[in-house]
Amino acid sequence: MIFFFDGILTDIGLPDGNGCDFVKWISKNHPDNTAIIYVYSAFSINYIEEKIKGLPVKGYFPKPYFEKDMKDFVAAVEANKRNVAKEKDHFN
């Protein structure tokens, strides 16, 4: 069974690995992925920027994150869904 997601939110520090490896895995195994990917971390913004360089990450925010951060993520996911739907309609 294959699941498709509109948005993916992952921490950089995970119990069995890290979020950057997870994003790399998504890119490698699902190259047609259209989900918006955001990361968050308790590490500094500079550390986050360095770790996600070259990855298909659309946004990031530090911990603790706030309601506005989550609203921004949801808004980005919704905007991406509309854009993907428009592109599909254009090619059909």
* pLDDT tens digits, one per residue of 7-50: 999 999 888 888 999 999 999 998 888 889 999 999 888 888 89
- Single pTM value for the model: 0.80
In angstroms, the CA 7 to CA 36 distance is 5
Residue 8: CB atoms within 10 Å: 20
* pLDDT tens digits, one per residue of 59-83: 888 888 899 999 999 999 999 888 8
Hey, where are the domains in the chain?
Answer: 16-65
Percent of the chain with pLDDT over 70: 91
What was the pLDDT predicted at 45? Answer: 85
